[in-house]
Structure 1
């Protein structure tokens, strides 16, 4: 890790000085990535789903690489609203996590219950059903599943309640605390896009300068998995072949220990018991829940 400098701390600077108003900018792109991203977007039509959305804060990683007991390797942040920038709790947690290079703070979308309801969290946690009388629009808001919705519900039940969406605020807050401490997501592509197949086809293995740091984080996770008595579970969830290309040790490790609980593949978009147990054997999913509860 010492050999790869964290580029993301510069996101909060302007002309070499800390910028207290970083969150009111129109664009959020690192200087080291700017030319590549600009060239990348210039080659695509306006309507292309592969265009990089630089008006949203990038999310190269979410969580603490030293403390997380479950590390999910994902594809990219989804395009949504920028309401998170108006949430002071989220802004402080986001800034702390990125400035430290993932060495401080935690899973900032689970900093408290307000951050779990942000649009940027919906792809992870899903959307709760809201009845018409409680909805600001006066219409029923249908529930939608996110990548972590099954884990969220099962963790809530393990902690003594109902599914997360039906739990009281005290239990929901306890689930949030567990996720903040124990969960990390590392995105292979740090900027928001609509459709990853297009963006990775366009990228063709030409990595952004900043992506070296995400690769370094994964290597640190693998080192932890090798050295610690209770290692983190590293789950390759999306863009598996691209992750193997970026960090060859991932694929080599699978080749040697395909059933290892220190490193898992998730064959679906959503992390479920069926998905993990079908690849790694019965009990794999329970190991994930056990680490998240710690």
Structure 2
């Protein structure tokens, strides 16, 4: 159930509007300094993907930043896919970095690294004898990208880009204040929409339709989406993942942290 009107419906490339209509009362420009300063000239990414079709939903802190991220302004396909996703509130489109036209953008290169082993395993399932995604012909790669486009969703705790996450987003072990509320749950009003999406994701996982991977900030996610914390640890398709360094969903790391067979179960869900 949607808890509010989509706060992201005003975002658009043509007018360079990259701040949610619900966040206008927050002084985002001066909110944080240094590497945590927000880059408000980039389109926010509170979520990437479609909650209705997603089979692997990944919870993160906030989108990062590099100068190369501005390449999105040169890609009309990205504009179309991005606006389809964000104007729907995450109920239309898909993981917009997994299209032939966007996969080589900086965000696509990052996503390829994160999902490299999953995409290779999926390639081997759909095209027996294939060594990897890169070894496939263009048509084969397109089929793998179609699966990833439909099946992957990222939801960020905080929607705006910064080079490094502010300490209040990372979590410092003191999630709740004296009243029991999350210290980071109301930095901007638009966060509530993402919390609602995660609530929908929990229902999908309970029905056996998807996996959730919680990366960061775990305590803040549990605090703001109680159903997530209540169910975590009870079902195998609620997955913990603490990256040793950069995020990369490998068979070794997923199975080590969640039990043997976790990686294969995810691959089988995405590529039945």
Q: Work out whether residues 23 and 85 of structure 1, in 8 Å CA contact, stay in contact via their aligned partners in 2.
A: no
Change (3 A) 1:2 1:251: closer
- Which residue pairs with 1:270 in the alignment? 248
1:28-43 to 2 correspondence within 5 Å?
28-38=18-28, 41-42=29-30
- Which residue pairs with 2:174 in the alignment? none
- Which residue pairs with 2:2 in the alignment? 2
Q: Which runs of 5 or more structure 1 residues have no equivalent in the other structure?
A: 13-21, 126-145
- Which residue pairs with 2:46 in the alignment? 60
CA distance in structure 1 between the aligned counterparts of 2:166 and 2:248, rounded to whole angstroms: 17
- Which residue pairs with 1:220 in the alignment? 200
Change (3 A) 1:251 1:2: closer
Q: Work out whether residues 50 and 199 of structure 1, in 8 Å CA contact, stay in contact via their aligned partners in 2.
A: no
- Which residue pairs with 1:289 in the alignment? 267
**How far did residue 43 of structure 1 move?**
5.2
Q: Alignment partner of 1:235: what SS?
A: strand
1:234-253 to 2 correspondence within 5 Å?
234-253=212-231
- Which residue pairs with 1:133 in the alignment? none
Change (3 A) 1:196 1:165: farther
Q: Which runs of 5 or more structure 2 residues have no equivalent in the other structure?
A: 172-181
Q: Alignment partner of 1:9: what SS?
A: coil
- Which residue pairs with 2:176 in the alignment? none
1:172 maps to 2:144: no
Q: Work out whether residues 60 and 189 of structure 1, in 8 Å CA contact, stay in contact via their aligned partners in 2.
A: yes
**How far did residue 159 of structure 1 move?**
2.6
TM-score, normalised to structure 2's length?
A: 0.85
Q: Work out whether residues 44 and 160 of structure 2, in 8 Å CA contact, stay in contact via their aligned partners in 1.
A: yes
Q: Alignment partner of 1:90: what SS?
A: helix
- Cα-to-partner distance string for 1:219-261 (whole Å, 9 max, x where unaligned): 01111222x3x42111112221221122122222125x1xx22
- Which residue pairs with 2:152 in the alignment? 183
Moved more, 176-185 or 275-284: 275-284
TM-score, normalised to structure 1's length?
A: 0.79
- Which residue pairs with 2:178 in the alignment? none
**How far did residue 201 of structure 1 move?**
5.9
Between the two proteins, the alignment pairs up a number of residues equal to 254
Match of 1:232 among 201, 207, 210: 210
Q: Work out whether residues 148 and 271 of structure 1, in 8 Å CA contact, stay in contact via their aligned partners in 2.
A: yes
Q: Alignment partner of 1:42: what SS?
A: coil
Q: Work out whether residues 31 and 37 of structure 2, in 8 Å CA contact, stay in contact via their aligned partners in 1.
A: no
Match of 1:196 among 156, 165, 177: 165
Q: Alignment partner of 1:241: what SS?
A: helix
CA distance in structure 2 between the aligned counterparts of 1:42 and 1:197, rounded to whole angstroms: 13
**How far did residue 177 of structure 1 move?**
0.4
**How far did residue 208 of structure 1 move?**
1.2
Q: Work out whether residues 70 and 234 of structure 1, in 8 Å CA contact, stay in contact via their aligned partners in 2.
A: yes
- Which residue pairs with 2:191 in the alignment? 211
CA distance in structure 2 between the aligned counterparts of 1:123 and 1:10, rounded to whole angstroms: 27
